[in-house]
Structure 1
């Protein structure tokens, strides 16, 4: 993935999470691995590697619609695993850190050196997105970046860009959103 380093003509740079800060693939493959391990433990059958490989192959073939259901059918798993998978996806403790793209770290440095503000604005389930953020190797950037959740702001009937602009005391036109 090639990240375009933004021009430095805005005051605040908002970044989405998935495939902007890190490769979403890195998160999902760890979830598939953990799900396979969970099923193997629950079923007491050595199927973790096969489940992980099946899910990974479908993901890499961009065939992820109905991935969990296809996995359940392929391995004769109960529908009860749907809830477990969703809970695991949102709350899993990952075995490996998620790494920021090098281009993102370079952008962060260039923007902060130019006196610009950085923040995260991410859409989707806030619990899931927060879990991804918790597992990132921030290299210290987490101390300098505020995080906002689109779904949470919209739920509170707030326009994300107006709300964030107010927090920073800037005009919404002085925000660049990288997604």
Structure 2
């Protein structure tokens, strides 16, 4: 697949994190596994039953109520809600997170073409850093700079404006890739050239 149309005449590539660089479920399911092991140790609850339930809940209904539903199902004390949430920031995953193959190709091509690469992170910076540290970058880590919306009033527009100003770039010199959901929700200002990562997967 030719990536030239995305990178031609550009000086920088911006890409978001979850479901853009890698599949977010690969992170969540490993966190659920670690939590289930912790519950087996702390409360003697069957780890496999917990992780199977959490995985099923996530795949059916999303991540929002996973702990509450799991706690209700297995009579897990509320005090473990803190441990569960903390795991997202501190978990040491059993397996590295793998980039989407199409995204790996894009990033490698961007490096060859001497484009600067920026990761745009919306949400909890501590959790994002934990994810970024555990991605298998295939040697690309030295070419990346991360921008957090949390440092720009949690505004994507302000973050991109700050990035452009700090890096002496203009909008036309940048191409942006976002997740499918972000693309559908107009995550990025329409004046910027952005693509759903699904185009290259």
TM-score calculated relative to the size of structure 2: 0.80
Q: Which residue of 2 aligns with 1:59?
A: 58
Three-state SS of the structure 1 residue aligned to 2:175 is strand
Which residue is equivalent to 1:30? Answer: 30
Between the aligned partners of 2:122 and 2:137, the Cα distance in structure 1 is 20
Deviation at 1:131, TM superposition (A): 0.4
Root mean square deviation, CA, Å: 2.0
| 1:87-138 deviations in Å (ceiling 9; x for gaps) | 0111111111101111111101222222321110110100001100011111
Partner of 1:145: 144
1:14-163 residue pairs with structure 2 within 5 A? 14-43=14-43, 45-154=44-153, 159-163=158-162
Separation in 2 of the partners of 1:129 and 1:86? 13
Deviation string, structure 1 residues 14-42 (Cα, Å, up to 9, x no partner) = 11111111111110000000000111111
Rounded Cα–Cα distance in structure 2 between residues aligned with 1:120 and 1:63: 24
Number of equivalent positions: 174
SS in 2 for 1:165: helix
- Unaligned runs of 5+ residues in structure 2 are 179-201
Structure 1 residue runs of 5 or longer lacking an equivalent are: none
Note if contact 1:11-1:117 (Cα within 8 Å) is conserved in structure 2. Answer: yes
Report deviation, 1:46: 4.3
Contact persistence 1:126–1:152 (CA under 8 A) = no
Q: Is the 8 A contact 1:21 1:100 kept in 2?
A: yes
